[in-house]
């Protein structure tokens, strides 16, 4: 059976001399892998039709008894040329693609994950990225996964927490959000203190529908460092992933 779908290139690995295996994220079939035979030949129909971060229209032969499908045709819909030369945007794009690859199980529909990644790559293609955008993208992803950090009330006693708490709130990755001072002192697991200014930024970004809100926010290095640490620990704990690519991209962006 021939399947036609939109697909984002997550990874490609050369095999033999002229072929390659491409990993895709699709809205209706989840993460799939296709063999593209003769992709590197000068007269190949696939030559120049796909690359990392492309969104394509893909036709492939579906064989339920196989893990690796055969691609028939591919047409680039969004080549995203800025991601060929903007190193900051490319670094973030590499991380979000790696994150999507690790989250999406094979052959399971993930429309929300596909659209999250497609929108993220569009935003990075339109304007160079920064580390704050990583935090916003992670907050949006956590919301899609049903893992939204609780930033408005204490995750222990459920008491509302105001922004003017003078630095007495802490973030607990195991409890899934903020803890007031009594709950943080009673909790057996260590929590990360969150200053009021950082809490205000996190709340604003969590509710922001557009990445432009992040790009309009001027953050001090101290504020970014706290947010990166808090969200990084939260992701590793709840997704059970090492996320080495996250550490790499944050080091790159700080150079």
String of DSSP letters for 115-132: HHHHHHHHHHHHS---HH
- Percent of the residues in the chain that have a pLDDT greater than 90, as a whole number: 69
Query: Domains of the chain: which residue ranges?
Result: 2-123, 130-253
Mean pLDDT by groups of 10 residues along the chain of 255 residues: 95 86 95 87 80 95 86 94 94 96 91 96 90 94 95 91 67 92 86 91 94 90 95 95 93 88
CATH code of domain 130-253: 1.20.1440.120
Of the candidates 5, 122, 3, the residue with the CA atom closest to the CA atom of residue 75: 5
How many residues comprise the chain?
A: 255
Q: DSSP code of 124?
A: H
For position 166, what pLDDT does the model report?
A: 59
* Other beta carbons within 10 Å of 52: 18
Q: Are 7 and 13 in contact (CB under 8 A)?
A: no
In this structure, which topology does domain 2-123 adopt according to CATH?
OB fold (Dihydrolipoamide Acetyltransferase, E2P) (2.40.50)
Half-sphere exposure of 127 (CA within 13 A, CB side): 9
Q: How buried is 90 (Cβ within 10 angstroms: 0-12 exposed, 13-18 middle, 19+ buried)?
A: buried
For position 164, what pLDDT does the model report?
A: 45
Q: Kindly report, residue by residue over 78-105, the tens digit of the pLDDT.
A: 999 999 999 999 999 999 999 999 999 8
Q: DSSP code of 83?
A: G
Residue 186 structure tokens: 């009673």
For position 29, what pLDDT does the model report?
A: 93
d(CA 185, CA 149): 20
For position 67, what pLDDT does the model report?
A: 84
* Other beta carbons within 10 Å of 160: 8
Q: Are 38 and 24 in contact (CB under 8 A)?
A: no
């Amino acid at each position: 059976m021939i399947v036609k779908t939109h697909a984002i290139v997550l990874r490609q690995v050369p095999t033999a001399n002229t072929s390659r295996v491409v990993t895709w994220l699709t809205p209706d079939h989840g993460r799939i892998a296709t063999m593209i035979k003769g992709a590197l030949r000068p007269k190949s129909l696939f030559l120049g039709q796909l690359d990392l971060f492309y969104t394509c229209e893909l036709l492939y032969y579906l064989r339920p008894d196989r893990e690796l499908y055969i691609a028939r045709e591919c047409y680039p819909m969004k080549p995203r040329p800025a991601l060929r030369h903007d190193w900051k945007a490319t670094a973030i794009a590499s991380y979000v693609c790696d994150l999507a690859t690790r989250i999406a199980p094979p052959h399971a529909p993930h429309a929300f994950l596909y659209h999250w990644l497609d929108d993220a790559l569009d935003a990075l293609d339109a304007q160079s990225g920064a580390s704050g955008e990583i935090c916003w993208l992670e907050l949006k992803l956590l919301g899609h996964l049903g893992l939204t950090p609780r930033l408005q009330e204490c995750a222990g006693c459920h008491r509302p927490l105001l922004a003017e708490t003078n630095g007495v709130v802490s973030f607990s990755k195991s409890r899934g959000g903020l803890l007031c001072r009594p709950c943080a002192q009673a909790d057996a697991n260590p929590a990360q203190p969150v200053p009021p200014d950082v809490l205000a930024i996190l709340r604003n970004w969590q509710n922001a529908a557009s990445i432009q809100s992040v790009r309009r926010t001027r953050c001090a290095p101290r504020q970014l460092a706290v947010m990166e640490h808090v969200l990084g620990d939260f992701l590793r704990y709840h997704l059970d992933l090492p996320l080495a690519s996250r550490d790499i991209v944050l080091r790159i962006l700080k150079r």
